[in-house]
């Protein structure tokens, strides 16, 4: 069974703080990992993709991947109220590039 698990949340952080979102996956052969942001009632939008062990930074966002531990995380620095959304971890789990999603973590950034 291929699974992707996220810390359940909800997560609340004050404006300007660092938000840390975590995800583990069960398929050791997985190679591609994504973080999506989803606002209520909307389709997911891609925040970060990561394929190699280590850190990948893009603006206020940093994705971290540890394939040995089967762990991927997302850090959001200087969190803003507009970052309040549900964050979905996704892993490519098939040769056709279908995604398996985690359950999502609802983040609220308090002004």
Residues that bind other proteins (CB under 8 A): 32, 34, 41-46, 49, 51, 88, 92, 94, 96-104
- Is 16 or 39 the residue whose CB approaches other proteins more closely? 39
Q: What are phi and psi of 4, to 5 degrees?
A: -130, 125
Q: How far apart are CA 97 and CA 76, in angstroms?
A: 26
- Is 40 or 111 the residue whose CB approaches other proteins more closely? 40
Residue 16 CB, shortest distance to other proteins, in Å, is: 28
Residue 44 CB, shortest distance to other proteins, in Å, is: 6
- Is 96 or 111 the residue whose CB approaches other proteins more closely? 96
- Is 41 or 54 the residue whose CB approaches other proteins more closely? 41
Residue 60 CB, shortest distance to other proteins, in Å, is: 22
Residue 27 CB, shortest distance to other proteins, in Å, is: 14
């Amino acid at each position: 069974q291929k699974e992707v698990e996220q810390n359940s949340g909800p997560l609340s952080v004050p404006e300007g703080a660092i938000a840390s979102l975590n995800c583990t996956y069960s398929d050791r052969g997985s190679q591609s990992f994504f973080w999506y942001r989803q606002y209520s009632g909307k389709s997911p939008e891609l925040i970060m993709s990561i394929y190699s062990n280590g850190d990948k930074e893009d603006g206020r966002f940093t994705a971290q991947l540890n394939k040995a531990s089967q762990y991927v995380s997302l850090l959001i620095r200087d969190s803003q109220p507009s970052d309040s959304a549900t964050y979905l971890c996704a892993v490519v789990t098939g040769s056709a590039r279908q995604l398996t999603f985690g359950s999502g973590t609802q983040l609220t950034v308090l002004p």
